[in-house]
A and B are shown apart, each in its own frame.
Chain A
Amino acid sequence: MKWRKIKGEITDQFDPVMDEMLGALRRSTIEAEGSDNFEEAFLSRWRRAKEARPVFFWSPVLVGAAVTAFALLALLQIITYVPNDAVSPENMEVSLPASERPIFGNSEIITTP
């Protein structure tokens, strides 16, 4: 039975509407207990979840490792990059004029066969 407080008065007043509504709410209970194979179904779901767990658990690590490997490869490529003009024929020794060719100090000791 529900008694309703009206505007903070000390004495409460019986509220038939609230009482009826709460009574209807309590009578509307759904009497469910779960099916007979609840435990079997649970164990089956549990095992499936357990099998899927390692993949689920490690997948962010695998993705992280792949991204890191890709980034490292890209970095290595940037570091070891050699521009094409650095090996162009103009910069090669054979193409330089005689005056710009390097002079080796020991040229006189080179003997021709």
Chain B
Amino acid sequence: MSFSVSSSTDSRELRADELKWVARVRQGDELAMSALVGKHRQRLVHVAANLLRDAHEAEDVSQEAFIKAFREINRLREDRAFSGYLYRICVRLCMDRLRARKAEPSEFDVAMESKGEQVENRVVIERLLTKLTPDLRITIVLREVEQFSYEEVAEAMNVPVGTVRSRLHSAREKLRQLWMEAHSE
């Protein structure tokens, strides 16, 4: 399975390039590292930003994920599984950061409050997401916001697909309940 970064017809060529780059990274080639960073960074930062709800922290986590992925490249058994391996590291780092956080509204919430319905809904969503456990939060964001398939979510979170389905159901129900409470206030 691969995490799609391009839907164009040359995806096969890109995959072949990626295999070469991963093989070169195993030998410590920094140019190949730059190539892999260039290929994956946009999507990875996007995913991290939506998991953490913080663009600056997302950039930091993404760089850390690349460093960890390249440093421990020998743990990767198959070169073609690089993207899944990279996202798994990134999701784990995001999970650690979310667990370390306190459940407080971010500065963004306070600054953007009461500026129209769309922004208001965004603020509500941000606040409600903080009330979910990191597992549920990551599952629902990867599936609903990042549009990962169930299999991709399972691979990124290193859990079976059945667990993803169950967590997704719990996350939707919990968020629905919180959403109703927030709008009844």
Contacts and interface: CB of A to CB of B under 8 A. Distances in A.
Contact of A32 (B33, B59, B121): B59
A26 B121 CA distance: 11
Interface residues of B, number: 36
Contacts, number: 89
Contact of A39 (B34, B55, B126, B179): B34
B67 A29 contact: no
B49 interface: yes
B62 A34 contact: yes
Contacts of A101: none
A110 B38 CA distance: 98
A25 B49 contact: no
A39 B44 CA distance: 13
Interface in B92-141: 118, 121-122, 124-126, 140
A11 interface: no
B42 interface: yes
Interface residues of A, number: 28
B106 to A, nearest CB: 12
B172 A18 contact: yes
B180 interface: yes
B82 interface: no
> Ordered nearest first, which 3 A-B pairs have the shortest CB separation?
A32-B49, A32-B55, A34-B45
Given A25-B145, A33-B41, A38-B62, 9 more contacts: A2-B172, A24-B124, A28-B121, A30-B46, A30-B53, A32-B46, A33-B42, A34-B41, A43-B33
Interface of B: 30, 33-34, 37-38, 41-42, 45-46, 48-50, 53, 55, 58-59, 62-63, 66-67, 70-71, 118, 121-122, 124-126, 140, 144-145, 172, 175-176, 179-180
